[in-house]
Chain A
Amino acid sequence: MIYLEPIGRIRKFDARPLCGLCFKGMNMKKTLVRLLVPVLACALGTGSLAGCSLPSAAAQSDPLSAEFYAMDTVMELRAYGDGAQDALDASQAEIASLENLLSRTKEDSEVSALNTAGGAAVSVSPATARLLSASLDYSALTGGAFDITIAPVVSAWGFTTDTYQIPSQTELDALLPLVDYTQVRVRNAADGQGDQVSLGAGQSVDLGGIAKGYASDRLVHVFADNGVESGLAYLGGNVYVCGSKPDGSAWRVAVQDPDDASGNVGVLSLRDAFAVTSGGYQRYFEENGVRYHHIIDPSTGYPANNGLTSVTVVAAAEENAGDESAAGSGTMCDAFSTALFVMGTDKALDFWRANGGSLGFDLVLVTDDARVLVTKGIGSQFEQAEGTDYTYEIIS
C-alpha cells in the first residue's frame, strides 16, 4: 500500500453520527439515496412554488367591462350596478351606429356621401347635423385651429391609409385653399328633421378629431338611461368617468408621458367628467430623422410644431336633458385638445383664460421644454408623478 504524506491541515474529524441517519461503517450509497430524495423533493416543491402566480393586488368588486375596436381605435367600457350589462350593450350599439354615420372610410356613411357629393346638399340625420354645427362653432372659436375640412391634407400625408409620405409644397399649395370651414353649410330644417349639409367645391371632411368626443357625450345618456351611476368609458384617448368609483373615491385618470409610453406626468382625480388628450406621439412617421405626426396645422399644412407635446382638456360631464343628440362638453374637449395642440403653449393658455370659465374646461399641457402646465381649476385634482424630469406649474 502506498503511504501518502498528510495532505494538509485536516487533523481530526468530528466522528459523531450524522443526525442519526448513518453511523460509522455506514453504507454510503444508502445514505446518499436517503438524503438525495428529500432534497430533490424539496427542490421540486420550490419549483412548483415558483410556478404559482401571485394573488393580484386589491381585489375590488369587479365591474362589467367590454373591450372592442371601433372608430379606428381600441375602446374599453366599465360599468357597475344592475344595469351594467344593458349599458355596455347599448353603448357598443350606439358607437357602432355613430361610426356608420360618421366614418369617412365607410363608403355608405353619411360623411362619405357628403365627401363625394361634389358640393351638392346632402340630407343627414340629426346627429350628424348637430356634430357638424358644433364643429363649425369650434372652428370659429379657435380661429380655425380646429377645422374638419383639413381632410384632403391629412390624406396627402398618408395618415388615412397608413402609407406615409411627405407631400410636396406644390401639392400642399393646391390643397390648402380647400381647408376652409366657412364653406361648410348646415341648414337645419325647422323641426330638426331633414337637415341638409353641403361642402365647398373639392372639399372633404374628417370627423376623426371629434367623433369620439361626441360618442362619449352620447354615453352619458346611455349610462344614465340604464341606471349606471359608476362607470368609465375609454375611447382611445378620450375618457368619460361616470360618477365616482363604487367606494365613493374619485376615478384616477393618468396622463401619459409623451416621451415614455409606460410612464405618466400625473394623475387626475375626476368625478362625472371628460378628459381628452391629443399628442403628436400618438401617430407619426419618421423620415431622415425628422418626425412627422398626424395633427396637421390647418394654416400651414404641416404637422403642428408650436411647443407642445401633449394637450389634455378636462370638463364636467352634465346630462343635457333637452337634446340628446346635442354635442356637449365631451365633443368640446375632443375638438379643443386638437385645436390647442395646433395653437401652441401661449395661445392655448390665452384661449383658456378667455374661455375656460364660461365654457367650463381646464387644461394639462406638456411642453417640449419639459414643463407640465396645469390650469388653476384642476390644480387641486392633479397629482404630480414622482421621479420625472418635468417642472410643474399651476397657471392662473
Chain B
Amino acid sequence: MKSSVKLTFCRWDLIVAALILTAAGVLAAGYWGRTLAVGSSSLTAVVSAGGQETDRVRLASLSGAQERTYSSNGYTLTVRFSPDGVAVETSDCPNQDCVHTGTISRAGQSIVCLPARISIQLTGQSGSGDADVVIG
C-alpha cells in the first residue's frame, strides 16, 4: 500500500488544532468550574501517598504556618500548611514540579509529586452547593 504524506500545513490541521484546544477548554471549564473558594472554616488539605490518604489538615484551625514532612516511594517532601493555603516547601524529587506549583488556596486545587506518588488536594464541601459556614 502506498502512502504519501503532505508536508504543508493546511486547513485540516487547523481543525485538528482547534479540536484539541476545544477539548482542553471544555475540560478546563468543567473541572475548574467546580472549584469554589469556600468559607475559610471548611478548607481542608488532604494528603495522600500512593493513593492512600495519609493526613488531613483543616486550614482554618491553624494559628500560623505549620510544616509537615511526608515520605513515600523513596522521596521526602516538606509541606507548609497555613490559613492562606498549602505549598510544598522542599522536596528531594528529581523534577521539583511539586515545588514549582507554588501555593494552592482554593477547593479543588491540588499539588502532585509524581516520583513520590504524593498528592495534596484542597477540598471544600461536597454535596450541597456553597454554604456560608459549616458547623460540626
> Which A residues have a C-beta under 8 Å from some C-beta of B?
9-14, 16-19, 54, 56-58, 67, 69, 74, 76, 232, 234, 237-239, 241, 245, 251-258, 260-267, 275-277, 279, 282, 310, 312, 383-388
What DSSP secondary structure best describes chain B's contact surface? loop
In the assembled complex, the Cα of A256 lies from the Cα of B40 at a distance in Å of 14
Among A9, A18, A254, A276, contact of B128 (Cβ-Cβ < 8 Å): A254
> Cβ of A266: which chain B residues have Cβ within 8 Å of it?
127-128
6 shortest A-B CB distances, which residue pairs? A256-B136, A385-B127, A254-B131, A262-B123, A267-B128, A252-B131
B interface residues, how many (CB within 8 angstroms): 40
- Residue interface bits B110-130, CB-to-A below 8 A is 1, else 0: 000000000000011111111
> Closest residue of chain B to A275, judged by CB?
B135
| B133 CB contacts on chain A under 8 angstroms | 76, 232, 234, 239, 251-254
Q: Is residue B68 within 8 Å, beta carbon to beta carbon, of the partner chain?
A: no
Contact A310 B127 (CB under 8 A): no
Closest beta carbon of chain A to B101's beta carbon, Å = 10
Closest to A364 in B: B135
* B93 part of interface (Cβ distance < 8 Å): no
Determine the chain A residues whose CB is within 8 A of the CB of B41 once the complex forms. 74, 76, 234
Cα-based distance from A310 to B136 in the complex (angstroms):
8
Interface residues of B (CB under 8 A from A): 1-9, 32, 35-37, 39-42, 44, 46, 56, 58, 60-61, 63, 83, 106, 123-136
Complex interface: chain B residues within 8 A of A18 (CB): 7-9
Q: Which residues of B contact A277 (CB under 8 A)?
A: 135-136
Across the interface, do B125 and A254 meet the contact criterion of CB distance under 8 Å?
A: yes
- Expressed in whole angstroms, the Cα–Cα distance for A76 and B7 within the complex equals 63
Q: How far is the CA of A57 from the CA of B34 in the complex (A)?
A: 10
Contact A263 B8 (CB under 8 A): no
